[in-house]
A and B are shown apart, each in its own frame.
Chain A
Amino acid sequence: MTLPLPADLELTAVEVTLDELDRDGALREAGSRLPRGRFLGLAAVGAAAFGGLAAPARGVTKGDIAILNYALALEYLQSAFYTETERLAAVRGQAARVARVVGAVERAHVSAFRDLLGRKAIKRPTFDFRGTTEDQQAFLKTAVAFEDLAVAAYKGQAHLIESDAVLAAAVSIHSVEARHAAWARHLFGIRPAASAFDQPKPKAEIDRIVQSTSFVVARPQTRARGGPRFTG
């Protein structure tokens, strides 16, 4: 239900994931295209957006709550990654734009899930992105891995969701993660759509991959009562 604590410091499975999919090789010069147009109009997304379930998670089954918390854990990971990248301001050009635009979206996903879950929401873990938020190529590569991972994760849960409302919300986010994946891949210079079908990954596999990154350094207690709150 929550992101696992890191167990080791082995080379990340993120790289395995990428290498599997990177069939096109060389990096592409993408800097000359400057997408313009509006940025995100996200103000309405979040608290107000999920207002209809204002009494948190009312009528949502235990299973769906677990899935929502799983999604929230992934969104925490993503939003923290982009937010830190934007704050450190070390990546440039289109990658910086990805950090800003995608970061805003992932933060919106976080608040939406938190609002929906209310007191049942897991708390934000503490992350250490190990330099990937301040290096151009490491940032893009990790962004690709995170987004591809999120696509596979949502896809692995869709058929397990019981509530139609939760399912509709999940699929509407799932395809946005796929857009992000394609965008990051395009900038990184690999094929945005590697095959005709995107395969799902079960939760255990996602957990294992996330764990192998060692990005999650502390996981707070899920419940309000229990051990002392971790503040590191």
Chain B
Amino acid sequence: MLDEEAAAVAARTEPSLTRTRLLQSAVVGGGAVIAGGVLLGGLPALASAARSPEQDVRILNLVLLLEELEAAFYGDAEDRGLLRGELAEFARIVGDHERAHVAFVRKALGDKAEAKPRFDFGNTTSDPDRFASTAAMLEDTGIAAYNGQAVNLTKPVLKAAATIVSVEARHAAWIRDIVGQPAAPDATDAPATERQVQASVAKTGFVKAGG
């Protein structure tokens, strides 16, 4: 019975997870060669201009958008109060983390931080299945974004970003395990370029103004 339930949940969440995976495999030109793509093939597309504080600002604003999106998503889920059990616990704890990330990145950016956009999450914060699949997709996207920008950040910012990305990875594995999806489906987490992250965010339709 529980197995059937898990299977059903997995089936319903698959489209979003697939979307993330498509995003990732697009980066390296084929899902099967992820490690090689990451190491070399993916690199020319990842490395942009030489590292600089100005570039850091642009990248930090990109991850700020993701962190704002995540924080608002979990906050909205908590406010609506329709999640139960471990999903509710997940929303509460992960929401705390994402709010801490927002505060951290905002502080790092100072007056260079962009304004917080307005969001509309539809029923993804009230329907448990849609919540879980969206959370997994957002966390996977966060990992790909941070991983993609590692080579573009100055060393002090890279050091700080590294303390965040693995927490996003923990979130991704946690929510995936809750709904019976593979927690760590690949040997490496493929990176995404800035443009791919922006496209991924746009595709959610969650950002209503700003960003």
The listed residue (B6, B36, B42, B47) touching A34 by CB distance below 8 A is: B6
In contact, B147 and A36 (Cβ under 8 angstroms) = no
B184 touches A (CB below 8 Å): yes
CA separation between A33 and B41, bound complex, in Å?
37
- Report B187 CB to chain A, min CB distance, Å: 4
Q: In the complex the two chains form, is A49's CB within 8 Å of B39's CB?
A: yes
5 pairs, CB–CB < 8 Å, chain A vs chain B: A46-B35, A155-B163, A169-B39, A171-B147, A181-B170
Q: Are B184 and A35 in contact (CB-based, < 8 A)?
A: no
Residues of B within 8 A of A204 (CB): none
User: CB-defined interface of A171-203 with B at 8 Å, one 1/0 digit per residue?
Assistant: 111111111111101110001110111111000
With A101-B182, A109-B187, A175-B189 given, is the CB distance from A45 to B166 under 8 Å?
Answer: no
A193 with B36: in contact, given A40-B185, A101-B182 (CB under 8 Å)? no
> Would you call A191 and B93 a contact (CB within 8 A)?
yes
What residues of chain B lie closer than 8 Å to A199, measured between beta carbons?
163
Which residue in chain B gives the minimum CB-CB distance to A116? B39
Taking A36-B7, A193-B94 as contacts, is the C-beta distance between A171 and B35 under 8 angstroms?
A: no
A49 and B165: CB pair below 8 A?
no
A53 proximal to B (CB < 8 A)? yes
In the complex, which residues of chain A have a beta carbon less than 8 angstroms from the beta carbon of B66? none
The reply to whether B36 and A35 contact each other, CB–CB distance below 8 Å, is no
Q: Are B169 and A165 in contact (CB under 8 A)?
A: no
| Residue of chain A at shortest CB distance from B101 | A196
Bound form: Cα–Cα A49–B31 in Å = 12
Instruction: From known contacts A36-B10, A168-B151, A192-B170, infer whether A52 and B186 are also in contact, taking CB-CB under 8 Å.
Output: no
A181 to B168, CA, bound (A): 12
Complex interface bits, B1-39 against A, C-beta within 8 A gives 1, otherwise 0:
011001100100000000000000000000111111011
Beyond A49-B35, A52-B36, A158-B150, whether A182 also contacts B191 by CB under 8 A is no
Query: Which residues of B lie under 8 Å from residue A200 when comparing CB positions?
Result: 159, 162-163
Answer yes or no: A164 CB below 8 A from chain B CBs.
Answer: yes
**Contacts of B76-134 to chain A: CB distance below 8 A:** 93-94, 96-98, 100-101, 104
Q: Which residues of chain A are within 8 angstroms of B185 by Cβ–Cβ distance?
A: 37-38, 40
Asked whether B190 is an interface residue with its Cβ less than 8 Å from the other chain, the reply is yes
Determine if B36 and A41 form an interchain contact, defined as CB atoms under 8 angstroms apart: no
- Does more than half of chain B's interface fall in helix, strand or loop, or is it mixed? helix
Residues of A within 8 A of B (CB): 32-46, 48-53, 101-102, 104-105, 108-109, 112, 116, 151, 155, 158-159, 164-165, 167-169, 171-183, 185-187, 191-193, 195-200
Instruction: Knowing A44-B33, A45-B35, A51-B36, say if A179 contacts B183 (CB, 8 Å).
Output: yes
**A169 and B165 in contact, given A182-B173, A196-B101 (Cβ under 8 angstroms):** no
Chain A residue contacts of B173, Cβ below 8 A: 178-183, 186, 192
Pick from A32, A159, A176, A195: contact of B187, CB below 8 A.
A176
B-to-A contact residues, CB < 8 Å: 2-3, 6-7, 10, 31-36, 38-43, 46-47, 93-94, 96-98, 100-101, 104, 143, 146-147, 150-151, 155-156, 158-159, 162-174, 176-178, 180-191
In the complex where A34-B3, A35-B6 touch, is A105 in contact with B39 (Cβ < 8 A)?
no
Q: A51-B36, A165-B40, A196-B167 are in contact. Are A33 and B180 (CB under 8 A)?
A: yes
Given contacts A37-B180, A101-B184, A164-B151, 13 further A-B contacts (CB under 8 A): A33-B6, A33-B178, A37-B10, A43-B32, A53-B39, A155-B163, A174-B166, A175-B168, A180-B173, A182-B172, A196-B97, A197-B100, A197-B164
Q: A49-B35, A167-B150 are in contact. Are A198 and B166 (CB under 8 A)?
A: yes
Which residues in A have their C-beta under 8 angstroms from that of B155? 159
A65 to chain B: closest CB distance in Å? Answer: 15
**B180: chain A residues within 8 A (beta carbon):** 33-37
By Cβ-Cβ distance, the 3 closest A-B pairs, closest first, are: A52-B40, A178-B169, A178-B166
